[in-house]
Chains A and B, each alone.
Chain A
Amino acid sequence: MPRFLWRRLLTTILTLLAASLLVFVVLNFLPGSPAQVILGTQATRAAVRELTVKLGLNQPLWMQYLHWIGGLLTLHLGRSYISGQPIAPEIGSALSVTAPLVLLGLLVGVAVAMPTGVVSALRHRRASGTILAAATQLGIAIPNFVLGILLIIVAAVYLRLLPASGFTPWTTSVVGALQSLALPAISLGLVEGAILSRYVRTAVLGVLSADYLRTARAEGMRRHQALLRHGMRNAALPVITVLGLELSGLVIGAVVIEAVFTLPGAGSLLLSSVANRDLIVVQDLVMLVAAVVIVTNLLVDIMYRVVDPRIGLGS
């Protein structure tokens, strides 16, 4: 394996470790003791003390950290402070909503961005191209939750095409689950697609004025032929970078969209765990999101090499 990969892998691991330390420290500074939140305002002091000990929250912080991180390394996410249940199935069930939502959102985004970006670049001197570019500007300006509420009103309340909120579990009905995810994925994907479309447009425009494309045209290739053969790879580089960033945007956007559509996903789990001071669940979830983002970055770097072998990073 090339040295570049080893170095990137090492950086990734160090970043993850730093992230875990940050998450742990910040969350443990969050005021409000889990034991007190669990037992409320009417419990005896003895009961609160007893629970603090039971949860292991009377141990020194460094020991709690080591215990947690040791668990993560051996794939033991621990047990929720609040329900006493293993966390892994809880996160798994939340991810069965959020992961498809994010992927569908990405799909919608790419499906929107690629054609609109390329077409608005090819026609950038014509009215149709300008209108398309203006439309994507509008898409960027609309926050995804506003779009979500608009979609609920139009598609669910007036047209009654799709459910307004809620989630049908995959085990009950795959079609039902997809139906529950359709509107949220569209509201998530359209906005991200609009942003992505701008980058695609800029990248294609840059390629169109490149020397090698002019040479290809001079050799007798038609414009779209030249673009497909020589242009796409070059235009893809900035788009892949943005796509990597967009993915983390989608994960964060999903937190908001899940609230709008009352979906029982990772976003809802994160919010309720913060409210309940179920710190260990919050730690696990934030680490998961951090890991997804960091690993995505790693994949993007590897993709660079695949798309453009000239990038010799580190050798």
Chain B
Amino acid sequence: MIGGRPWKRSPVRGVTAVAAVGLLLAACSSGGSPGKAQPLKTLTIGSSNVFPPTLDPTANASQAIDEVIDYNVLQHLVQLAPNGTIVPILASSWKVSSNNQVFTFTIRKRVRFSNGDILTPADVVFSLRRVFAPSSTYPYAKVFDVASVATVATDQVQVTLASPSWEWLYDLAAYSNGVILDPRTISSMATDPVGTGPFKVAGEVTNYSVSLTRNGRYWGYLPQVAGVTFRYFTNPNDLNAALQSGQVQMIDNLSTPQDLGLFKSNSAYRVTAGLTNGKVQLTLNNAYGPLQNKVVRQAIAYATDKAAIIKAASGGYGIPAGSDTVPADPYYLNLSGTYPYDVAKAKALMRQAGYGSGFPLALTLPPYFYAQLAAPLIVSELGAIGIRVTVSTIDFPLWISQVFEGGAFQATIIDHAEGRDIGNYGTPGYYWHYAQTAQVAAELRAANAAPTEAGWIAGYRQVLRQITADAVNDWLYIIPNLTVARKDVVGLPSTAYTESLDLAYVGLGGSIPAAARSLGFSS
């Protein structure tokens, strides 16, 4: 079954990644710290996330859990580096069958969990089977479509998918469903997840902080901090004050970009606007009255000024989206020029659709800053073409039950943060009620069965063009991940393509290995 093409997706990048990790391993055998030993300090990170409801990423979708635990405490067979490449972690190498259906992973040797247990292929089989078990409550519908997982050699695990997929390896790397667990510690996952990563959980204070300490048994490069503490702030002003007064050394994900001015001009801090997978969109209920008409949806896309919205909602950071894709996707197409800001054209389309005198539209918002900041502009811009928008804000659980589950809404503004989530357009009953769902699903399936990567990409791009031509939603912009850190914090990931804040190379002062820099960690 296994084809003779290891590193099929991208042979060159794959091999460099292995070489890079090899170099790092060599570099870290001495602990990685040059010069005389100084006591390491603890890095305190102020997070704008909510306090993690549990520390078990396999039990809850909260991004706050992945931010702390994924990659840092629990690792995957393969992971996504900040530069967007898939790198080997607990698998030292892997092979993919020619039809993209069978994946054979060679498990890295001499890896221990932070409690001393040795990582075995059986642990890998246990972890992957746990994802798609009938009683599974894993939070992502990813890595599920597996037919079987088995040990095939003393150090190899083979995964056979239900159907061929060009996406599966990426999903395994990027989504926290892919974490490898110690089967003997499952009962304590909620408070003390035990993994193979560079950090282990030291403790938590509910609604206040989570502390990690460096895992002395770590098999790779040891980060140059004694530990990392995440502190949680519900109020952005408190968070900014905490950075200014030195209580925290960095802010992960500044939720109010208008506050960037506080730090941008100050040479003591470094501001990073990392790329993400987050597509902020004006979701249109394609089943609601006037919005059933493609021409009306196109008019809305012409009527919204993306540049102005980026300025208002994202402090000028972020790039126009144009469709359900971001530059990190292999199938990325920049379609942001399809509907340039053109009020006259939008009005003409409204008349053509028979809505020359406009119609009322209810915009139901989640309580997030980006939605609140973008809404006033949307209201006035749609008002200019006769759409009378009324705005209401509801809390997120209500948003999920009413808008997302119930589909009882007309329009909303939401960040679709998941990577490569184009499959949503082929999901029957998905909340925006796109009429061509079945057709898109068939196209996506056909693309995944393509024998070559080029064929897969071409198939996905066809879907992108179609949903953009149909103006299913009005894609506003790709949201940036804004971090503000004191200058001496090194080794931070330069992008946020995953929900994890990957701290594998973090340090306070000093430098990071060159190989880590080439993977996209900042120096």
Contacts and interface: CB of A to CB of B under 8 A. Distances in A.
Interface of A: 30-33, 36-44, 46-47, 50-51, 54, 82-85, 90, 93-94, 157, 164-167, 169, 259, 262, 264, 268-269, 271-272, 275-278
Given A43-B141, A50-B135, 16 more contacts: A31-B397, A32-B398, A38-B59, A42-B421, A44-B141, A83-B191, A84-B59, A84-B190, A85-B191, A166-B231, A169-B205, A262-B235, A262-B238, A268-B208, A272-B207, A277-B397
A259 B234 contact: yes
Chain A to chain B: the 10 pairs with minimum beta-carbon distance, closest first: A40-B61, A32-B397, A264-B208, A83-B54, A82-B53, A268-B207, A51-B137, A44-B141, A264-B207, A32-B401
A42 B139 contact: yes
A278 B206 CA distance: 14
Nearest to B394: A31
Interface string B197-229: 000000001111000000000000000000000
B140 A36 contact: no
B241 interface: yes
Contacts of A46: 136
Contacts of A166: 208, 231, 247
Given A83-B191, A268-B207, A42 B61 contact: yes
A122 to B, nearest CB: 43
A75 to B, nearest CB: 20
Contacts of A90: 206
B51 A38 contact: no
24 contacts: A31-B401, A36-B401, A39-B139, A40-B61, A41-B404, A42-B141, A42-B418, A43-B61, A43-B141, A44-B144, A47-B136, A47-B141, A50-B136, A83-B191, A84-B190, A85-B191, A164-B247, A166-B231, A262-B235, A264-B208, A275-B50, A275-B396, A275-B397, A278-B53
Contacts of B190: 83-85
A90 to B, nearest CB: 6
A166 B246 CA distance: 13
Contact of A269 (B206, B245, B398): B206
B497 interface: no
A235 to B, nearest CB: 41
Nearest to A265: B207
Nearest to A276: B53
A30 to B, nearest CB: 8
Interface of B: 50-51, 53-54, 56, 59-62, 135-142, 144, 190-191, 205-208, 231-235, 238, 241-242, 245, 247, 395-398, 400-402, 404-405, 418, 421
Which of B139, B191, B235, B398 has its CB near the most chain A CB atoms (within 10 A)?
B139
Main DSSP-derived SS at the A contact region = loop
Main DSSP-derived SS at the B contact region = loop
A82 B140 CA distance: 16
Contacts of A157: 241, 245
Contact of A40 (B54, B139, B144, B401): B139
Contacts of A30: 397
Contact of B54 (A39, A44, A82): A82
Contacts of B241: 157, 164-165
A269 B207 contact: yes
B50 A38 contact: no
Nearest to B60: A38
A101 B235 CA distance: 21
A50 B232 CA distance: 31
A43 B137 CA distance: 8
A97 B54 CA distance: 21
B203 to A, nearest CB: 10
A36 B404 CA distance: 10
Contacts of A38: 53, 59-61, 139
A50 B137 contact: yes
Contacts of B398: 31-32
A232 to B, nearest CB: 43
B53 A39 contact: no
A157 B240 CA distance: 13
B400 A36 contact: yes
A77 to B, nearest CB: 14
Contacts of A37: 396-397, 400
Contacts of A84: 54, 56, 59, 190
A43 B139 contact: yes
B283 to A, nearest CB: 12
A94 B206 CA distance: 8
A42 B421 CA distance: 9
Contact of B235 (A42, A85, A259, A275): A259
Nearest to A258: B207
Contacts of A276: 50, 53, 397
A47 B206 contact: no
A33 B205 CA distance: 26
A259 B245 CA distance: 19
A51 B56 CA distance: 15
A43 B60 CA distance: 10
Contacts of B208: 166-167, 262, 264, 268
A39 B136 contact: no
Contacts of A275: 50, 395-397
B242 A165 contact: yes
Nearest to B140: A42
Given A39-B60, A50-B135, A165 B140 contact: no
Nearest to B136: A47
A37 B61 CA distance: 8
A284 to B, nearest CB: 14
